[in-house]
Amino acid sequence: MTILKKQDIHILYEDENIIAVNKPAGLMAHPDGRAEGPFLTDWIVEHFPQTLNVGEPARSQDGRDLNRSGIVHRLDAETSGVLLIAKTSKGFEYLKNQFKNREIRKKYLAFVWGEMKEEFGTIDRPIGRSSSDFRRKSAQRGARGELRNAETYWSRIAIANIDDGQISGKFSLIKAEPKTGRTHQIRAHFAAIQHPIVGDKLYAPKRPLVLGFERTALHSRSIEFVNCEGKSIKVEAPLPEDFEKAMNKCGIRE
């Protein structure tokens, strides 16, 4: 297993109770009982050992304890960008309540297939389980299990029409703000309206890899919260290299 070094994870914000990091694409936030890692939680405990017992316990399907030290919310493994971590139980409870009350604002950047014709909109579709793949969530007719309310606000940043001999088609760069926090919400919502995220092998398995992305083209750009001292904080993660290259290829500026 690869050992993460402190410099491998960039700290974007830190105070006595909370840190925000720029999670690289390809790194899982915490163990799931199946993957070997490394995990972000390995790095957290190594460099902030006081987080060891911070948070809520979790168990794998076979009953093993899973280390989720400091994790208040998560990003999918392939998603890059800003992620909050609680250093103390006080920080954990403070952030947990803000997430529960939907007071934390998260904004993502994503490249999606096709032309988003409107400048902005809301995807208001409940999310359940896919009837065809247990790994997927679904916001479409036929979703199974409990359907949970889910809203995603979005705005269009730019449209790119690419035809360079290798890629031919239209793509949109969008900013998405999930009002709710369902698993795979942004990915499932855009797949449901026939604009899946570029590079998403789970929700658009028949689409080719384009624009230089080898992973899901989803980046957690910024997060806004209130720290334990009552101060409003906004943290922004820089654009990763693959986003910068794709935007240059498309002639787009954020």
Taking only the tens place, the pLDDT of each residue in 147-163 is 889 999 999 999 998 87
Q: pLDDT exceeding 90 applies to what percent of the chain?
A: 66
Is 234 among the domain residues?
A: no
Show the domain range for 69. Answer: 7-103
Choosing from 103, 137, 157, the residue where a domain stops is 103
Q: What is the DSSP string of 162-193?
A: EESSS-EEEEEEEEEEESS--TTHHHHHHHHT
CATH number at residue 27: 3.30.2350.10
Q: pLDDT exceeding 70 applies to what percent of the chain?
A: 89
* pLDDT greater than 80 at residue 133: no
Q: How many domains does the chain fold into?
A: 2
Residues 118 and 243 in one domain: yes
Residues 113 and 186 in one domain: yes
Q: Between these two residues, 7 and 126, which has the higher pLDDT value?
A: 126
For the ranges 37-41, 55-59, 167-171, the lowest mean pLDDT is seen at 55-59
Is 230 among the domain residues?
A: no
Q: Tokens for 201?
A: 């092998």
pTM tops 0.85: yes
Q: Which of 8, 181, 195 is nearest to 96 (CA)?
A: 181
Residues 208 and 114 in one domain: yes
Q: What is the mean pLDDT of residues 188-194?
A: 96
Residues 146 and 42 in one domain: no
Q: Between these two residues, 48 and 68, which has the higher pLDDT value?
A: 48
Q: Which of 198, 197, 202, 236 is nearest to 220 (CA)?
A: 236
Residues 253 and 159 in one domain: yes
* pLDDT greater than 80 at residue 254: no
- DSSP-based three-state secondary structure for 97: helix
Residues 128 and 254 in one domain: yes
Is 231 among the domain residues?
A: no
Q: Is residue 37 within 8 Å of 28, Cβ to Cβ?
A: yes
Is 1 among the domain residues?
A: no
Choosing from 103, 124, 141, the residue where a domain stops is 103
* pLDDT greater than 70 at residue 61: no
Residue of 15, 42, 62, 76 with catalytic role: 76
Is 184 among the domain residues?
A: yes
Sign for the CA dihedral angle at 180, 181, 182, 186 comes to positive
Q: Is 8 an active-site residue? A: no
Encode pLDDT of 71-120 as tens digits.
Answer: 999 899 999 999 999 999 999 999 999 999 999 999 999 999 999 999 99
Residues 195 and 147 in one domain: yes
Give pLDDT, residue 60. 56
Residues 175 and 66 in one domain: no
Residues 160 and 83 in one domain: no
Residues 44 and 162 in one domain: no
* Distance from C-alpha of 189 to C-alpha of 154, rounded to nearest angstrom: 11
Residues 110 and 84 in one domain: no
- DSSP-based three-state secondary structure for 37: coil
Give pLDDT, residue 137. 82
Is 55 among the domain residues?
A: yes
Q: Is 62 exposed, middle or buried (0-12, 13-18, 19+ CB in 10 A)?
A: exposed
Q: Is residue 89 within 8 Å of 153, Cβ to Cβ?
A: no
Q: What is the mean pLDDT of residues 182-208?
A: 95
Q: Which of 214, 246, 221 is nearest to 235 (CA)?
A: 221
Average pLDDT value over all residues in the chain: 89
Encode pLDDT of 218-242 as tens digits.
Answer: 999 999 999 999 999 999 999 999 9
Q: Tokens for 114?
A: 């096709």
Residues 205 and 145 in one domain: yes
